[in-house]
Amino acid sequence: MSPSRRSPAGLQRLRSGRADAAQRLVALLIGVLVATLGGLVLAASEGTLAELPGLLLLVPGAVALRGNVFGAMGSRLGTAAHAGTLRLNFRPEGVVGGNLLAAGALSLASSMVLAVLAKGTATVFGLSGSMTLADFLVVSTLGGLIASSAVGVVTVGLVVGSVRFGWDLDNVTAPLVTTIGDLFTVPALVIAAAAAGHGVSSSALAVGLVGGSGVVLVAAWRAPVEEVGRIVRQSVPVLVVAVVLDLLAGITIERRLDDLLDAEALLILLPAFLGGAGALGGVLCSRLSTQFHLGLDDATPLPSRASGRDIRSVVLLALPVFALGAVAAHVAATLTGQTGPALGQIMGVALLAGGLATVFVVLVAYYSTMASFRFGLDPDTYGIPLVTSSLDLVGVFTLVLAMVAVGVT
């Protein structure tokens, strides 16, 4: 059909598609730049990383937790917006207020679990001289509390913006929440690390944080507001799986720490790369979940035409996202005097690793969302955590593989 003969409905879908693509692209590019700042903080914290062995184990998991918890929250709110049930009601029984309570409880409890598993992982894999369990608990839980407060405010701001300016939460929440989580989480861990390593006082602080987190989780699990309890009960299993996957990614990074410190530009690239790839998967999960919930698409083993359009859009967005991440990391390293390979090598690493990661993103995003919906679970709760955490592990491997292929190490 020629443009002049398009139907009004077709033109509306075309305009909507273009608006969606523009919102996604802007949100993703902003997210990459923000995550690069988090990588710059990470590269500048090499002294702290050296003083507290095992700290880097926490980074992928802690960063991912903010995206997993608040990204899933944004996805649920996006579905509510499309269904016409979203109201700016911050009371516990409201959609926004209930989601905030559940997200806060899940973030604290998951940070505590991450610390315990990180210490166990460090012991099993023989990371000598790693932090004590108390120090792991202080850094992970206190850092998680600081970062979650900031990310929660940003998430609420996006919800308000969606109501006022007509943003589609499916397009903007996943890219911005996951990557802004990168920006806040890395400095939060560094700040919390200042409270670790002080013997008895650190142990006392750890006990207090564990007790408080446990009380909050139990209260949320048994909350009289049905929505809060349901979100928490459904989220706990998938978040535990996500933490394990992120710890495996942390082990890989910890074992390559010397290579990354020798090429600090790649350490700067790391959060932007993982955050950008996770954001692409988050956008796809959110879109698919909304379509499945509203009955606009069937959750079939083979993607429908509607799902295929969203998949193609994500694949096309991958190139500018990873290319910008490489340029931003190189510029940030140059301006701050950090070491690193030439721009061409960083670009090669980012694009090669990004291409491999994008294929993985599409497969996991579609089939995790489809499967959870078909089994009667909430795909908004399951899709994003599974994608971002499995991607952290696979993304680290693809990044290391690309570094070897390009000849950076």
pLDDT in tens, 197-241: 777 888 899 899 888 888 888 888 887 777 788 888 888 888 888
Q: Tell me 52's DSSP state.
A: S
pLDDT, greater one: 183 or 323 = 323
Q: What is the pTM of this model?
A: 0.70
Residue 261 in tokens? 């410190």
CA Rg, the chain, in Å? 21
Let me know if residue 250 belongs to a domain: yes
pLDDT in tens, 31-50: 777 777 777 776 676 666 66
Let me know if residue 234 belongs to a domain: yes
Q: Is the pLDDT of residue 386 over 50?
A: yes
Let me know if residue 5 belongs to a domain: no
What Cα–Cα distance (Å) separates residue 22 from each residue in 11, 152, 287? 16, 25, 15
Let me know if residue 6 belongs to a domain: no
pLDDT, greater one: 299 or 211 = 211
Dmax (CA) of the chain: 76
Whole-angstrom distance, CA of residue 119 vs CA of residue 199: 16
Q: Is the pLDDT of residue 275 over 80?
A: no
Helical H segments across 52-94, by residue range: 55-83
Let me know if residue 22 belongs to a domain: yes
Pick the range with the lowest mean pLDDT from 35-49, 74-88, 313-327, 375-389: 35-49
Q: Is 337 left (phi over 0), alpha (psi -120 to 50) or beta?
A: left
User: Residue range 333-352: average pLDDT?
Assistant: 86
User: Residue range 360-382: average pLDDT?
Assistant: 84
- CA-based nearest residue to 145, from 174, 113, 112, 117: 112
Q: Indicate the SS3 state at residue 369.
A: helix
- CA-based nearest residue to 304, from 249, 369, 235, 260: 369
Q: Is the pLDDT of residue 315 over 70?
A: yes
Let me know if residue 94 belongs to a domain: yes
Residue 13: what pLDDT? 40
Let me know if residue 371 belongs to a domain: yes
- CA-based nearest residue to 336, from 328, 346, 344: 328
- CA-based nearest residue to 368, from 355, 381, 354: 381
Whole-angstrom distance, CA of residue 249 vs CA of residue 52: 18
DSSP letter string over 154-206?
HHHHHHHHHHHH---HHHHHHHHHHHHHHHHHHHHHHHHHTTSS-THHHHHHH
User: Residue range 135-157: average pLDDT?
Assistant: 87
Its domain, for residue 107, covers: 17-406
Whole-angstrom distance, CA of residue 176 vs CA of residue 35: 9
**Counted domains in the chain:** 1
Residue 239: what pLDDT? 85
User: Residue range 170-182: average pLDDT?
Assistant: 72
Residue 4's pLDDT band (cuts 50, 70, 90): very low
pLDDT, greater one: 292 or 64 = 292
Let me know if residue 380 belongs to a domain: yes
